[in-house]
Structure 1
Amino acid sequence: MECMWCHSDEAKQGTQSVYWELPDGTRAIEITNTPCVICKSCGMEYQEESIINEIEDQLMLIDTKQLDKKLSYEELLSVPKLLKRNYFRY
């Protein structure tokens, strides 16, 4: 896998905890076991755009007031949606 920062081929898939501000700005949550790319060459650890969009869309579509301060990526994605899709994403 190629690192999007240094273009090395030493990047690998992994997981990490990330901290995300809720769309209403009231607080941030910790999302554990979030898919990421880890590059041994430059040391970057980052989420691919598809994962970022998936998290942001899910947070727009659920009742975030019911979320704990810490949950796993899989738990976040399993929260029932209030809307079918994110109408703000074109």
Structure 2
Amino acid sequence: MKPCAWCNDLKTSTCAETVYWELPDGTRAIEITETPALACSSCGMTYQEESVIGEIENQLFLIDAKKLPQTITYQELMQTERILKRNYFDFS
């Protein structure tokens, strides 16, 4: 178990949730279903870990996001063909 990012309690469990994400160009938001998440039974928060957030944001920069449907699963998003080899906007 990982400690909750909100309350630091160890009562977290993995789950999958639906999230809504704005595309990098700001033209629209998409629904991403079955997204990995952590749920805390102590404080009630459900959230994505920083690594998942980074994966989604990175992938959205590397693909032709204009071709994405309004709703997509996390797995389908991660398997979408990339048009760039790397995210040239990631300076970390």
TM-score (norm: length of structure 1): 0.97
- Equivalent position SS for 1:54: helix
- Structure 1 gap ranges (5+): none
Is 1:74 the equivalent of 2:65? no
How far apart in 2 are the matches of 1:62 and 1:81?
4
Task: State the 4+ residue runs in structure 1 displaced beyond 4 angstroms.
Answer: none
Shift of 1:4: 1.2
Cα drift, residue 33 of structure 1 = 0.2
Query: Could you tell me how far apart the structure 2 residues matched to 1:23 and 1:69 are?
Result: 15
Counterpart position of 2:26: 25
Amino acid of the structure 2 residue aligned with 1:16:
E
Kindly state the Cα deviation for residue 31 of structure 1 after the two structures are TM-superposed.
Answer: 0.2
Q: Percent identity?
A: 57
What's the Cα RMSD here? 0.6
For these two proteins, the number of residue pairs brought into alignment is 90
User: Please, which runs of 5 or more residues in structure 2 have no aligned partner?
Assistant: none
C-alpha distance in structure 1 between counterparts of 2:71 and 2:61, whole Å: 17
For the pair 1:88 / 2:86, whether they are aligned, the reply is no
Partner of 1:74: helix, strand, or coil?
helix
